[in-house]
Amino acid sequence: MTHGQTGVESLYTVFRDTETVFHVSTKLPSTEGDTQQLQRKRHIGNDFVAIIFQEENTPFVPDMIASNFLHAYVVVQAENLGMETPSYQVAVTAREYVPAFGPPLPSPMFSRRPDEGSPPGQPSRRTPRPHAGHAGTGPRRGQV
């Protein structure tokens, strides 16, 4: 976090001896007058995995995000947001060259809020193995 380009806070975790920093687009600073928000894109576009949160039922096409580094996408879509117990549909997609990785998710996968239904200390959502995306050369054209 130098020169204020990455903002003043970030999300960080360690899981099974692997450190992970999450670049949250809404926490990265925006530059007034920069319609492309290149500082934000610079960080997110250089990640291996992107977690996309969609508020509406719209298809996600990985090619919508131009990047040579993003290899896998976890798409989370809110369901029943106005209800007392919202749920989330989770789907995983990866570029064509990324080898299959686990754990396998049921299709479709639904998850309740983290405070409901998961034992304490257990992650409520599964994410792909980021290192699975290190090999290969071409993008997959698909949608979730």
Domain parsing of the chain, residue ranges = 1-44, 49-134
Global pTM exceeds 0.75: no
In this prediction, residue 14 carries a pLDDT of: 92
Say yes or no: domain 49-134 is CATH 1.20.1290.10. no
Q: How many CB atoms lie within 10 A of CB 112?
A: 13
Are 69 and 46 within 8 A, CB to CB? yes
Residue type, 95: R
Look at residue 79 in the predicted model and tell me its pLDDT.
Answer: 79
Band of pLDDT at residue 17, cut at 50, 70 and 90: very high
Contacts 24+ apart (CB under 8 A), 55-60: 55/81, 59/143, 59/144, 60/93, 60/143, 60/144
**Model confidence at 6: pLDDT above 70:** no
Whole-angstrom distance, CA of residue 131 vs CA of residue 86: 31
Helix (H, G, I), strand (E, B) or coil at 126: coil
80: left (phi over 0), alpha (psi -120 to 50) or beta: left
Render pLDDT for 42-85 as a digit per residue (tens, 0 to 9). 667 677 888 888 877 778 887 777 778 888 888 888 877 677 77
Q: What is the pLDDT of residues 96-139, one digit of tens each?
A: 888 988 888 777 677 665 555 444 444 434 333 344 433 333 33
pLDDT grade for 4, boundaries at 50, 70 and 90: low
Q: Which residues of 42-70 are buried (b: 16+ CB within 10 A; e: fewer)?
A: ebbbebbbbbbeeeeeeebebeeeebeeb
